[in-house]
């Protein structure tokens, strides 16, 4: 097996329906490199790596290993050449042992008692790189760090020379992350190379020797780590073009509507993911939560809307304690929510548009009277939503699954806003939408605020947050790194906070 001395991706271009995921991307990595691939979600990093791993075929461009062009039709081709990938979400069978997971589909393992054979090979690599893991344990018994080691072993045993790691520390504790970096260093010394996808500046600065920054499908910069500062990288990651095309009038914020106090929430795995959060949102104010997805935003929103229990802390709505109350109670009391995964949670795909237009409020008048649904009123409501929010649909009888993403989102947003809530929570409302639809939604959020409502906007799109919000809090690993006003703060500071670096509080923003 020849080692990979040099791998090049040249001119890689890949589009999905309407979205240019990768535009003319060039990447070079040499033996012994740990190359960081930095960028926000949606920058195109994972797409690029999926091309390298044979999961996607590029529209244009080529991949060369040691000067020879490759045709990577599927992961097996990539594995043959020595490319291995560790996905962000592990591809492991929870109920099986480590041995069984590594043996899955492993050609060289014998038919009978494959576990015995695997044990020896695993021991080899374990010792070599410090990948300590008990081969007989079941995956669900392992910590995230140990599970990751299993994935690394899987790749190494299939002759991975270049290892692609997609956001590897997103599930690790700081200690486990350190252990991982030790392992990576050992591998590098042995002649392997690593591409590390991450949005965390600290991490990239500490373990990588080179870095490439991507934004919206293009490469915005590449450098050798010792020659750059965090600020440089933040700037490359965020970019400078922030237009302010939306008209927004100055309004005095009203009374406090939502008070979050010392809120802590656990993730599905039982680990703390929101840590002692505190902030207040007032009426006539759009409060933004910036930060890369996965830093606790989803869980925070779920605990406010009654879909998840919080561990400590309290949530007060206009003075009343609504901590851990049921979802129905909370939205009966004036909090409406445009969910992150709109198709999954916000709509019933097979039901018709007008039926979806009253989801959540279907049990209230005027939409239903005692036991009966008042369909004439519901249809009227649906029609007015469609008109007001510009939902492009064949009719209000169309099943919602036939609507485009943008129109589905407009419908959901319209449904939630029209209920005139005290607090509107919008999670990534414009994700995946075209420019026109996105603009429309942002305008509606501003309208809601102008009418006196409080808005909590969770978004990864800094541009959007800067356009729309009155104040922005940056979340990283469950904490609020700082709260800023769009009018008077530095973009780079926000970028740094998003990537985990605490910033000197210049504006003296408090809760």
Q: What six digits make up the tokens of 169?
A: 């520390």
Question: How many angstroms separate the CA atoms of 42 and 64, rounded?
Answer: 25
Residue in 312, 313, 250 with CA at minimum distance from that of residue 285: 250
Q: Which one, 326 or 447, has the nearer CB to other proteins?
A: 326
Q: Does 206 bind other proteins (CB under 8 A)?
A: no
Tell me the closest approach of the beta carbon of residue 151 to other proteins, in angstroms.
Answer: 10
Report how far apart, in Å, the C-alpha atoms of 73 and of each of 50, 65, 80 are.
11, 15, 11
How many other β-carbons are positioned within 10 Å of the β-carbon of residue 8? 16
One of 206, 384, 402, 507 touching other proteins (CB under 8 A):
402
One of 169, 297, 303, 347 touching other proteins (CB under 8 A):
347
Tell me the closest approach of the beta carbon of residue 148 to other proteins, in angstroms.
Answer: 14
One of 7, 29, 72, 103 touching other proteins (CB under 8 A):
103
Cβ pair 410, 441 in contact under 8 A: yes
Q: Does 419 bind other proteins (CB under 8 A)?
A: no
Q: Which H or E run contains 183?
A: helix 174-189
Tell me the closest approach of the beta carbon of residue 342 to other proteins, in angstroms.
Answer: 10
Q: Does 17 bind other proteins (CB under 8 A)?
A: no
Residue in 431, 452, 505 with CA at minimum distance from that of residue 474: 505
Question: How many angstroms separate the CA atoms of 191 and 504, rounded?
Answer: 40
User: What backbone torsions phi and psi does residue 177 show, to the nearest 5 degrees?
Assistant: -65, -40
One of 224, 311, 351, 511 touching other proteins (CB under 8 A):
351
Q: Does 223 bind other proteins (CB under 8 A)?
A: no
Q: What six digits make up the tokens of 308?
A: 């998840």
Tell me the closest approach of the beta carbon of residue 24 to other proteins, in angstroms.
Answer: 21
Q: Does 110 bind other proteins (CB under 8 A)?
A: yes
Question: How many angstroms separate the CA atoms of 448 and 459, rounded?
Answer: 17
One of 314, 333, 368, 422 touching other proteins (CB under 8 A):
368
Q: Which one, 318 or 333, has the nearer CB to other proteins?
A: 333
Q: Which stretch binds other proteins (CB under 8 A): 94-102, 196-204, 248-256, 494-502?
A: 94-102
Cβ pair 462, 446 in contact under 8 A: no
One of 349, 365, 388, 487 touching other proteins (CB under 8 A):
349
Tell me the closest approach of the beta carbon of residue 326 to other proteins, in angstroms.
Answer: 7
Q: Does 373 bind other proteins (CB under 8 A)?
A: yes
**In this structure, are strands 479-484 and 471-476 parallel, antiparallel, or unpaired?**
antiparallel
Tell me the closest approach of the beta carbon of residue 58 to other proteins, in angstroms.
Answer: 13
Q: Does 377 bind other proteins (CB under 8 A)?
A: no
> Which are the contacts of 43, defined by CB distance < 8 A and separation ≥ 6?
214, 215, 216, 217
Angle in degrees, 0-180, between the axes of helices 114-129 and 174-189, rounded to the nearest 10: 90
- Residue whose token pair is 């190359």: 35
Q: Does 486 bind other proteins (CB under 8 A)?
A: no
Tell me the closest approach of the beta carbon of residue 383 to other proteins, in angstroms.
Answer: 19
One of 14, 215, 331, 471 touching other proteins (CB under 8 A):
331
Task: Give the x/- contact pattern for other proteins in 47-76, rule: CB under 8 A.
Answer: ---------------------------xxx
Q: Does 415 bind other proteins (CB under 8 A)?
A: no
Q: Which stretch binds other proteins (CB under 8 A): 27-35, 338-346, 427-435, 453-461?
A: 338-346
Size of the site for other proteins (CB under 8 A): 49
Q: Does 375 bind other proteins (CB under 8 A)?
A: yes
- Residue whose token pair is 């009654």: 306
127 SS3 class: helix
Cβ pair 34, 59 in contact under 8 A: no
Q: Does 119 bind other proteins (CB under 8 A)?
A: no
Q: Which stretch binds other proteins (CB under 8 A): 16-24, 166-174, 397-405, 458-466?
A: 397-405
Q: Which one, 302 or 492, has the nearer CB to other proteins?
A: 302
Angle in degrees, 0-180, between the axes of helices 144-157 and 174-189, rounded to the nearest 10: 20
Residue in 245, 282, 287, 279 with CA at minimum distance from that of residue 445: 287
Question: How many angstroms separate the CA atoms of 299 and 494, rounded?
Answer: 22
Q: Does 346 bind other proteins (CB under 8 A)?
A: yes
Residue in 435, 449, 445 with CA at minimum distance from that of residue 406: 435
Site for other proteins in 255-314 (CB under 8 A): 307
Q: Does 409 bind other proteins (CB under 8 A)?
A: no
Edge-to-edge, what's the strand order for the sheet holding 423-427?
Answer: 335-338, 423-427, 454-458, 285-290, 471-476, 479-484
**In this structure, are strands 320-321 and 479-484 parallel, antiparallel, or unpaired?**
unpaired
Q: Does 112 bind other proteins (CB under 8 A)?
A: yes
The residues that touch other proteins, with contacts defined as CB under 8 A, are 74-76, 91-96, 100-101, 103-106, 109-115, 307, 326-328, 331, 339, 344-351, 355, 359-360, 362-363, 368, 371-373, 375, 398-399, 402
């Amino acid at each position: 097996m020849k080692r990979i001395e040099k791998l090049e991706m040249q001119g890689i271009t890949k589009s999905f329906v309407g979205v240019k995921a990768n535009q003319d991307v060039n990447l070079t990595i040499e033996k012994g490199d740990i190359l960081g691939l930095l960028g926000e979600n949606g920058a195109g990093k994972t797409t690029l790596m999926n091309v390298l791993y044979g999961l996607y075929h590029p529209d244009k461009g080529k991949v060369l290993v040691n000067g020879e062009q490759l045709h990577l039709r599927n992961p097996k081709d990539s594995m043959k050449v020595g490319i291995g990938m560790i996905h962000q979400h592990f591809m492991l069978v929870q109920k099986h042992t480590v041995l069984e997971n590594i043996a899955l589909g492993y050609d060289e393992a014998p038919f009978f008692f494959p576990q015995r054979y695997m044990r020896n090979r695993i021991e080899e690599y374990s010792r070599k790189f410090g990948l300590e893991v008990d081969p007989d344990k079941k995956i669900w018994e392992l910590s995230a760090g140990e599970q990751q080691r299993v994935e690394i072993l899987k790749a190494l045993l299939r002759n991975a020379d270049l290892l692609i790691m997609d956001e590897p520390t997103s599930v690790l504790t700081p200690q486990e992350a350190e252990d991982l970096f030790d392992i990576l260093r050992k591998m590098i010394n042995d002649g392997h190379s690593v591409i590390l996808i991450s949005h965390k500046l600290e991490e990239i600065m500490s373990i990588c020797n080179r870095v490439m920054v991507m934004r919206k499908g293009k490469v915005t910069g590449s450098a050798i780590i010792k020659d750059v500062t965090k600020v440089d990288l933040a700037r490359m990651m965020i970019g400078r073009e922030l237009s302010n095309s939306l008209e927004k009038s100055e309004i005095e914020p009203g009374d406090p509507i939502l008070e979050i106090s010392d809120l802590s929430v656990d993730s599905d795995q039982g680990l703390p993911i929101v840590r002692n959060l505190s902030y207040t949102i007032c009426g006539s104010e759009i409060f933004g939560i910036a930060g890369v997805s996965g830093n606790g935003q989803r869980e925070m929103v779920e605990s406010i809307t009654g879909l998840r229990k919080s561990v400590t802390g309290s949530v007060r709505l206009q003075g009343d304690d609504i901590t851990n109350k049921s979802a129905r109670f909370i939205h009966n009391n004036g909090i409406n929510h445009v969910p992150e995964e709109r198709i999954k949670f916000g709509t019933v795909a097979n039901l018709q548009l007008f039926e979806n237009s009253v989801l959540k409020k279907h049990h209230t008048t005027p939409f239903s009277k005692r036991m009966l649904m008042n369909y004439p009123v519901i249809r009227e409501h649906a029609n007015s939503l469609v008109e007001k929010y510009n939902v492009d649909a064949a009719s209000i009888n169309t099943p919602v699954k036939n609507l485009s993403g943008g129109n589905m989102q407009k419908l959901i947003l319209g449904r939630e806003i029209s209920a005139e809530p005290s607090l509107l929570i919008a999670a990534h409302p414009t994700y995946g939408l075209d420019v026109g639809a996105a603009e429309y939604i942002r305008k509606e959020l501003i309208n809601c605020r102008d009418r006196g409502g409080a808005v909590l906007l969770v978004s990864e799109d800094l541009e959007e947050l800067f356009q729309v919000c009155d104040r922005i809090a940056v979340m990283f690993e469950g904490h609020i790194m700082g709260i800023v006003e769009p009018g008077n703060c530095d973009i780079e500071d926000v970028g740094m906070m998003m990537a985990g670096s605490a910033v000197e509080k210049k504006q003296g923003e408090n809760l």
